[in-house]
Structure 1
Amino acid sequence: MTVKQSPLKDCFVIEPKVFKDERGNFFESFNYKTFKKNIGLEIDFVQDNQSISQYGTIRGLHFQTGEFAQSKLIRVAKGEVLDVVVDLRPDSETYLKQFSYVLTDENNHQLFVPRGFAHGFATLSSEAIFVYKCDNYYNKTSESGILFNDKTLNIDWQIPEKDQIISEKDEHLPTLEAYLNS
């Protein structure tokens, strides 16, 4: 496993060692000892989530607040997504900065997103199976988010506007400015 620091503090790209032969491939998607050694954190993942999305789907930008904040270990089991994170930690040296990374079933890369980040993704392939571990349980009352097309963040989701599929809930999330002033 190779771990690389992303441009955002405490957010890492993880490249597992993939073993390939005529049958296909094999890789270890998570090993606590290896994760702790390379990331330097003791994380107790308690919940696994999976979504299936079609091309053009944009999910996000989501996060949990307060005692229900979540760190996530993200990967794509099928397809290709553009994964986007925004550092919302006021004390961080990368506060309000963003990072995008393409995760695919070909590269098998993973992204570790610490607590205090907004997260979203855009489905770039015809279909994507998106899988992630969380270190805290989902709590509806702690759910929050930022509008995916916030003008301040100006994220390039790599999906033409005419092809974007957004949930009604995500279309009504606050702008970054409104969230910060709430």
Structure 2
Amino acid sequence: MKLIKKINFMEEKKYVIGLNVAGLLLIFPFSMLFAKLTQLIFRADHYDFSGLDLAYLLVFAFILVVIHEYIHGFFFKFFGKGKAKVKFGFKNGMAYATSPGTFYNRKDFLVIGLAPFVLISLLLTLLAMLGLLSSTLYMPLASIHAAGCVGDFYIALLLLGQTDDILVEDTEVGMNFYQKEEPSQG
């Protein structure tokens, strides 16, 4: 295998700052999206947000971060076919799950990267539709979680710019892309 790209999200300031700024900016479009869904689900166009709701929001946001990383961990294990060792941590304001030393194909890594966004967004929407999550919590919680997926979206964009024949290694600080070596003819 030939290393074709190495990314260090944890120690290179351009990634840390860039992803945090992008995450803050993504709050706006995701807020508009989930506000519209809130209107459709609850038939409401206003929110009665109290101090208690803020406390619930902070607690649930923390819980979602943990669930988000465990979803990554589950898919690391699933696609690692029993060989993946998953580690969890928090560094530079980012929670993370990692599976160093395990190699994944491009499609599997896209699923690993985007699964938390898809599954948690669907779960929150379902809970709201069933009346188990109020409109005052659904919209900000779904928006904050979606914007917090900025690193996952960035990784997906990087992967979409690669060919199908690459392998991806998740490392404790970022990720490496490898080109599979063609077998020698002779």
What is the TM-score when the length of structure 1 is the normalising length? Answer: 0.19
Q: Which has the higher helix share?
A: 2
Q: Which has the larger radius of gyration?
A: 2
User: Higher relative contact order by CA 8 Å / sep ≥ 6: 1 or 2?
Assistant: 2
What is the TM-score when the length of structure 2 is the normalising length? Answer: 0.18
